[in-house]
A and B are shown apart, each in its own frame.
Chain A
Amino acid sequence: MSDGKLVLSEELKSFLLSLPDLDFELLLSSYQSSLPESFRINTLKVSHEKALELLSEEGFSFIKIPWLRDGYYVKPEGLLSHTIWYKLGLVYIQGAVSMLASELLDVSPGHKVLDLCAAPGSKATHIGQLLGGRGVIVANDVSTSRVKALASNLQRCGVLNSVITQWDGRIFGRRLRGYFDRVLLDAPCSALGIISKDWGVGRRWRERVSLTHSKLQKGLIISAYDCLKPGGYMIYATCTLHPLENEEVVMHLLNSRQDARLCRISVEGLNYSNGLMEWGNRRYHGDMAYCIRVYPYHSGSEGFFFAKLRKEVGGGEEA
């Protein structure tokens, strides 16, 4: 959150008011609130009981995040990252809704998993934890500086079965077609779900920002999907609210790959809206309602979009 007054660009206001299921006043109010600090216990290094005991000794208190296995809100805020336990990698500070991405992926020990846009590594380290040392997590990012943060976080969390690569994610599908059991694409986006972290995003946003992201996201989603084995699952996630970066991108995949199927997402303990089946003069696939839109006021945390897709066994490829 910034000092002063929240100012949204006129284009952004107009776009937000065009979303059929969004409560604009509640959204404005949540943009003006700081995000609660939350963390995940890294079960690769410590048990829940031990971690909570160690943090309690340091004066922290917690509330379990109802929709997550390993996530907690913590008080007081802003101090956890200065503890020994954080530095040793026993806990990982991560948004309460962001943590959902890896959980929705249904990772099991032994899976080969790809995190295509992995930096700084929040979700890749979480996947590493869910793998429990068996299988492999390939964490990729295109940016040299962001790969450094990714490497530091995988090190701190002790993920022995990790591989870091630095490719343009759009070419992965050509090189590793059908290799992975699970793929996570947490795509670069306009970040309209986390304006409370940076009010400048709301002031600067123009529709062309989302159009540019949408083009990149369409290339990435095809590549991510092509990496999946038949029968495999992928999660497409963004921390933005714009249909051009969400439903439109998923629709592009469904139109391009005839064996892609949307799967219904259901999360207990969290309020959300369903994916849009229409927006403006655009019409989307009937199964788009299987996707979920988590607005910041639903979670009291970040806004996210999640789609879960399955590659059918024995299906064709390009439509």
Chain B
Amino acid sequence: MRKLSEDERRGFQESVKRIYGVENYLDEYVLVKAGDGRVRVCTAEAFETASILRKVVSVGVYAAKWRDWGVVLTIEGSNLLKSRPSNVFELERGEALMWMDGAPLRLEGWKGEKIVLGSFHGFFLGAALVGRDGIAYPQIPKWRRIHGE
């Protein structure tokens, strides 16, 4: 468990700005590298407490997967965005249920974004990767799918 360096933090925030159009993402929190490109977010006090403990499994919540090609926000990561992202799709109830089941779906009004966010009743449902054919693949972990596990 280690903090993102200043350079890494800047790079991460720039990627978020490029993909989601939101600046200074998670500026008031500590960002932690958790392996396999995972970025966790926690409060400064939680990080400080974790630093004095042994056998720490995790701290805060998993906010994003950060790859060379982009940042995939989790449900929690997306709901921590402070302003409205540029690549968000308002979903109907049926679409939201499909999204939360991790099922592929075609998005009306898609303009070629590779990563999009789903939203339902004002709550973000995390990010989906979109293929060249405009089909979105929501990145919902199995344990969190409506009909998962």
Pair A155/B62 contact, Cβ less than 8 Å? yes
Given A158-B76, A162-B60; A87-B144 close (CB under 8 Å):
yes
Bound: A86/B97 CA distance, A:
12
Bound: A158/B77 CA distance, A:
9
A84 contact set on B, CB distance < 8 A: 96-97, 100, 120, 125, 146
Pair B57/A136 contact, Cβ less than 8 Å? no
Bound: A289/B53 CA distance, A:
37
Q: Is the interface of B mostly helix, strand, loop or mixed?
A: mixed
Given A84-B96, A87-B144, A155-B61; A160-B41 close (CB under 8 Å):
yes
**Which of A45, A134, A160, A164 has most B Cβ within 10 Å?**
A160
Pair A163/B43 contact, Cβ less than 8 Å? no
A89 contact set on B, CB distance < 8 A: 75-76
From B11-19, B44-52, B82-90, B106-114, the one touching the partner chain is B44-52
Which of chain A's residues has its CB closest to B53's CB? A165
Given A87-B100, A88-B123; A161-B60 close (CB under 8 Å):
yes
Proximity bits, A48-91, B CB within 8 Å = 1, else 0: 00000010000000000000000000000000001110011110
Pair B79/A161 contact, Cβ less than 8 Å? no
Pair B75/A163 contact, Cβ less than 8 Å? no
Within 8 Å by CB of A135, from B45, B143, B144, lies B45
- B58 CB–A CB distance under 8 Å: yes
Q: How far is the CB of A139 from chain B (nearest CB, A)?
A: 9
Pair A147/B57 contact, Cβ less than 8 Å? yes
Proximity bits, A124-159, B CB within 8 Å = 1, else 0: 000000000111101000000001000110111011
B57 contact set on A, CB distance < 8 A: 147, 151, 164-166
Q: Is the interface of A mostly helix, strand, loop or mixed?
A: mixed
Q: How far is the CB of A194 from chain B (nearest CB, A)?
A: 23
Which of chain B's residues has its CB closest to A84's CB? B100
Pair B61/A154 contact, Cβ less than 8 Å? yes
Within 8 Å by CB of B29, from A45, A159, A160, A166, lies A160
- A167 CB–B CB distance under 8 Å: yes
Given A45-B79, A82-B146, A154-B61; A161-B42 close (CB under 8 Å):
yes
- A182 CB–B CB distance under 8 Å: no
Bound: A135/B143 CA distance, A:
29
- A282 CB–B CB distance under 8 Å: no
Residues of A within 8 A of B (CB): 45, 54, 82-84, 87-90, 112, 133-136, 138, 147, 151-152, 154-156, 158-167, 175-176
Q: How far is the CB of A44 from chain B (nearest CB, A)?
A: 10
- B132 CB–A CB distance under 8 Å: no
A to B CB contacts below 8 Å, 21 in the list: A45-B79, A54-B121, A83-B146, A84-B96, A84-B125, A87-B144, A88-B75, A89-B76, A112-B49, A133-B43, A136-B46, A147-B57, A151-B57, A151-B58, A155-B74, A159-B61, A160-B46, A162-B46, A165-B55, A165-B56, A176-B53
Q: A88-B123, A163-B58 are in contact. List 19 more A-B contacts (CB 8 A).
A: A82-B146, A84-B97, A87-B100, A90-B123, A136-B43, A136-B45, A151-B57, A152-B144, A154-B61, A156-B144, A159-B60, A160-B42, A160-B43, A160-B60, A161-B43, A163-B42, A163-B50, A163-B59, A166-B57
Residues of B within 8 A of A (CB): 29, 41-43, 45-46, 49-50, 53-62, 74-76, 79, 96-97, 100, 120-121, 123, 125, 143-147
Within 8 Å by CB of A87, from B55, B74, B76, B146, lies B146
Bound: A223/B96 CA distance, A:
46
